[in-house]
Amino acid sequence: MFAISLGDDGAELRPLEPRHAEEYLAHIDRGRQYIGRFIGLADASTDLPSATAFLRSYADKAADDSGRLYGIWTDGTLVGGVLFRTFDAAAGTCEVGCWLEESAVGRGLVTRAARLLVDWAVEKRGIHRVEWIVAAGNTPSIRVAERLGMVRDGVLRESKLHGGVRHDVEIWSVLAPEWRELRTAGR
């Protein structure tokens, strides 16, 4: 196993695997209401078998190079994560996503973790287009896309049904040449 430091505050990015199911479920239970405002992640893990199945689905995706899942730990506690929801090296595209407990908001954890994922995808795997798909009302997630230097490609009006409500979805992206330019400029 590996852990990547996310900075001087002791936060780490680590693979999130089926063996973490109990810890993951406790994390989801702590943040269920906050996490579930805009994404269905909290609905996918309501007990230990469903949490294990969710983590196993990403272990399977990692095995066939179609997605990956990483947890964000602070002071030894899982507080959120980032993922490649989709990953298609042959097409040169992927989608990065995130979630975070409310107690960990405002520390830049997701931005720092997502920056590592985008950099790896572009520089190590040759991905050309990295997408960030977000409910239009999810301002904190939109701010992460902006901090990453992504461009808003457009809005899919009322395209996602979540919690019995239709939500607009924004598509953000950064292309490999843009990412490299941002890195050169020190962003």
| Torsion sign (Cα): 87, 89, 90, 94 | positive
Q: What is the mean pLDDT of the chain?
A: 93
- Span 25-51, mean pLDDT? 92
User: C-alpha distances in angstroms, 115 versus 36, 98, 105, 121?
Assistant: 23, 12, 17, 10
Look up the pTM and report it.
0.92
Contacts of 27 (CB under 8 A, 6+ apart): 77, 78, 79, 80, 101
Where are the domains positioned within the chain? 10-184
For tokens 């490649």, name the residue: 84
Q: Supply the CATH classification number for the domain 10-184.
A: 3.40.630.30
pLDDT, one tens digit per residue, over 69-112 is: 999 999 999 999 999 999 999 999 999 999 999 999 999 999 99
Q: Is residue 1 very low, low, confident or very high in pLDDT (cuts 50, 70, 90)?
A: low
pLDDT over 70 (residue 187): no
pLDDT over 90 (residue 164): no
Q: Is residue 7 very low, low, confident or very high in pLDDT (cuts 50, 70, 90)?
A: confident
pLDDT, one tens digit per residue, over 129-144 is: 999 999 999 999 999 9
pLDDT over 70 (residue 15): yes
Q: Is residue 5 very low, low, confident or very high in pLDDT (cuts 50, 70, 90)?
A: confident
pLDDT over 70 (residue 30): yes
